[in-house]
A and B are shown apart, each in its own frame.
Chain A
């Protein structure tokens, strides 16, 4: 304690403090910020919130989606009926506003420049133009209430063909891809199933019920918590490709190294 106290006036202490402060604030902010509050919908929104949403929309979205979200040809689709859930998913994961044209909008949490309130205002505004799916209720996002085993079965039937059975993602055509689901917030997983962003199909409540969606979230969170990590390093969960890479590099080099050593050893 005394040694720590003795160093508190060092110029490095300030730097250290600044570094720690920024790291924790940033991490905590990124961890806590999930976008619009669960259950967000145009219903019951205040006029003030709608007005703020419209301002934000005009400043950040209208150039591609049109001043009234009617769409603008190839630049951006109409947002009528996409709902608050789609807006929250796209904006709170950093996909929209699109930083640059590309094959696919990428998830990028560090790129989210809106506060939760602003995202909520945007979501409410777009939902008010023509109603669509709402941001899911809290009860469907709680992984601890879900059945991971059933979620796994639902996941393998509906999701694994693109996102991989371990949720690490997979390639689609022409440079598009199904992103990894590891580290994705439960709310965004739910919204993605509900709204079918980009190449993903829509899984509405008739396809996969809210309970099953919660099971899927529970399944994915169980992988995140290490359910698959048995028997050593997973080599990126790439299946036989990772095994082959290991066998043909580290594995075989160890054997050849031993063989060369033994071959050189004089009798």
Chain B
């Protein structure tokens, strides 16, 4: 084995015996002949072969939802490349100039150098407008990709042990991405972005006691000052991207360390990964996908205007435009401000306390990410599950989690839509006041509704899966028996299809697994201070769970079904789940054997 692969520099140093000669003089008959000279050269100096071998042998499972994260990754790369181009022309300065460029409707208007240089990029630099639009569109797609990827990870339970830390890194990455986005769209210093900075200024000022000091620190004095654009610029092009890329590399490294998760399917277990190795298949696919993403982004950027800064004019603190919205990822916070009632601002101890702003910004923004980051640990606490999980869950098989996720998304959407209440009002011919009342109500009502409906849907889908596993698919073929009875013939699932439907397990509520509070000798069981709460939440999560079909149940159903169809008057397919196995399991039919693997590795 070792003779087939060059061993690298470390091997040369540690080995007593001289290693076999690497193929520097290539001999067609030697096993090393297939390695290009350059690779051998590199391996002899830095030991590249070992790492490459490890990397190229990585196996990735195939599923479209695994590509959502790649949309984010490639969009980030596009944003990095186009952003570098923009820095060559953008002037991060609030110095005052009078515009004398190509765009006639702004000729002779006073503005900052930042805005003037953005106009120059748009109208005078060759290809500048396309690159600017590529940068902004890829930034939007970056965050859309992150949101979808996070949703995929959440709803499939991919954040469970051992991936909690990677989930946390992802949560931080998503926060950094939106801060990066905010800093980026604030740079042109047009009327819209200046309004955004003014809002940020207000957010900070709403902090009790320290608010004013904080804004003076960040803005270098009164708003707007001359410092904020250069400061945002260095955050946007250096500070945040450096952390973002660093954490992103860590994020990917952990994916390699943990190995990729996979959806349940035939032959897939917690101990293997079924898919294609990086070389050549996955590299071709992923590399190709980069060009697909780049192509779509370029097409969109060429055809659709984004953030036409010339529309807004230069920033002036005395001006504002109707329809001022941030980019979509900041909507939920802006929306919260529009929904919070005005009476939350009051005067106490001679100071104004602006809780109407404070709650929707400085409280809400961190809270969302804290809740996101805490969720895996909450669920681990609730399940008491210490095992590793590499097989993903179908969303229906974790009904409470799926319902919580859907409810949280609905809550987020209500806030986000509240941010465009003025545009909704004018486009739909509605009253903005009515919309505010509607959104305030929906913020509380909709998550509850969505939770209940989603959970019921998941449970129904699970029951449907059970039906299919136990009784097969309906065929639409009506059979008449010699006695004159009718029944619909059901076709059993094949083993491959069945696997995906039964490969999951459902935790039992903790309260039911811990035994009685007092043992037979009258000694109370030791309980932690939160044990009661833990049992209650656990019961909330899992008390009405639908469990996967066991091999015994399946065997019983087949046994039962065939006899019923011939002898008993009832039609078994419509009955309750078949649990009344009589024990005389008839495995000789061979139907049940395929489902044994997944459900028994507890």
Residues on A facing B (Cβ under 8 Å): 103, 147-150, 152-153, 156-157, 160-166, 168-175, 177-178, 219, 222-223, 227-235, 237-241, 243-244, 246-248, 250-252, 254-256, 258-260, 262-265, 267
**For the complex, what is the distance from the CA of A166 to the CA of B322, rounded to whole Å?**
9
Chain B interface residue count, Cβ-Cβ cutoff 8 angstroms: 76
Enumerate chain A residues within 8 angstroms of B105, measured Cβ to Cβ: 148-149, 152, 219, 222-223, 227
Q: Does any Cβ of A come within 8 Å of B366's Cβ? A: no
**For the complex, what is the distance from the CA of A144 to the CA of B438, rounded to whole Å?**
47
Enumerate chain B residues within 8 angstroms of A237, measured Cβ to Cβ: 311
Partner of A175, one of B288, B302, B331, B425: B425
6 closest A-B pairs by CB: A170-B322, A263-B64, A244-B328, A175-B431, A165-B321, A259-B67
Partner of B313, one of A152, A161, A162: A152
B327 contacts A259, C-beta separation under 8 Å: no
With A234-B305, A243-B307 as given contacts, are A262 and B288 in contact (CB-CB < 8 Å)?
yes
**For the complex, what is the distance from the CA of A240 to the CA of B276, rounded to whole Å?**
40
B64 contacts A243, C-beta separation under 8 Å: no
Enumerate chain A residues within 8 angstroms of B308, measured Cβ to Cβ: 228, 230-231, 234
A156 contacts B313, C-beta separation under 8 Å: yes
Enumerate chain A residues within 8 angstroms of B331, measured Cβ to Cβ: 244
**For the complex, what is the distance from the CA of A147 to the CA of B107, rounded to whole Å?**
10
Q: How far is the CB of B73 from chain A (nearest CB, A)?
A: 12
Enumerate chain A residues within 8 angstroms of B434, measured Cβ to Cβ: 175
Q: Does any Cβ of A come within 8 Å of B212's Cβ? A: no
Partner of B281, one of A235, A243, A248, A267: A267
A149 contacts B325, C-beta separation under 8 Å: no
Q: How far is the CB of A253 from chain B (nearest CB, A)?
A: 10
Q: How far is the CB of B583 from chain A (nearest CB, A)?
A: 44
With A235-B304, A237-B311, A267-B276 as given contacts, are A177 and B425 in contact (CB-CB < 8 Å)?
yes
Residues on B facing A (Cβ under 8 Å): 62-68, 70-71, 103-109, 122-123, 129-130, 133, 136-137, 140-141, 144-145, 148, 191-192, 276, 281, 285, 288-289, 292-293, 296, 300-308, 310-313, 316, 318-328, 331, 420-423, 425-426, 429-434
Q: How far is the CB of B301 from chain A (nearest CB, A)?
A: 8
Q: Report the tally of A-B residue pairs with Cβ distances under 8 A.
A: 202
Q: How far is the CB of B148 from chain A (nearest CB, A)?
A: 7
Q: How far is the CB of B404 from chain A (nearest CB, A)?
A: 22
Enumerate chain A residues within 8 angstroms of B324, measured Cβ to Cβ: 239
B422 contacts A171, C-beta separation under 8 Å: yes
**For the complex, what is the distance from the CA of A217 to the CA of B504, rounded to whole Å?**
68
Partner of A239, one of B129, B285, B302, B323: B323
The residue in chain A whose Cβ has the minimal distance to the Cβ of B107 is A149
The residue in chain A whose Cβ has the minimal distance to the Cβ of B66 is A263
The residue in chain B whose Cβ has the minimal distance to the Cβ of A164 is B322
B305 contacts A239, C-beta separation under 8 Å: no
B148 contacts A252, C-beta separation under 8 Å: yes
**For the complex, what is the distance from the CA of A254 to the CA of B432, rounded to whole Å?**
33
**For the complex, what is the distance from the CA of A134 to the CA of B107, rounded to whole Å?**
33
Q: How far is the CB of B229 from chain A (nearest CB, A)?
A: 19
Q: Which of A163, A171, A223, A262 has the most CB of B within 10 A?
A: A171
Partner of A149, one of B108, B292, B327: B108
Enumerate chain A residues within 8 angstroms of B66, measured Cβ to Cβ: 263
The residue in chain B whose Cβ has the minimal distance to the Cβ of A155 is B313
A163-B322, A247-B144, A256-B148 known, 18 other contacts, Cβ within 8 Å: A148-B105, A149-B107, A152-B106, A156-B321, A165-B191, A165-B313, A174-B432, A174-B433, A175-B430, A222-B105, A230-B122, A230-B308, A239-B323, A243-B140, A255-B141, A259-B68, A263-B66, A263-B67
Enumerate chain B residues within 8 angstroms of A149, measured Cβ to Cβ: 104-109
B64 contacts A162, C-beta separation under 8 Å: no
Enumerate chain A residues within 8 angstroms of B303, measured Cβ to Cβ: 232-233
A232 contacts B106, C-beta separation under 8 Å: no
Enumerate chain A residues within 8 angstroms of B328, measured Cβ to Cβ: 240, 243-244, 247-248
**For the complex, what is the distance from the CA of A243 to the CA of B420, rounded to whole Å?**
12
With A174-B432, A228-B308, A233-B303 as given contacts, are A243 and B321 in contact (CB-CB < 8 Å)?
no
With A148-B104, A230-B123 as given contacts, are A161 and B322 in contact (CB-CB < 8 Å)?
yes
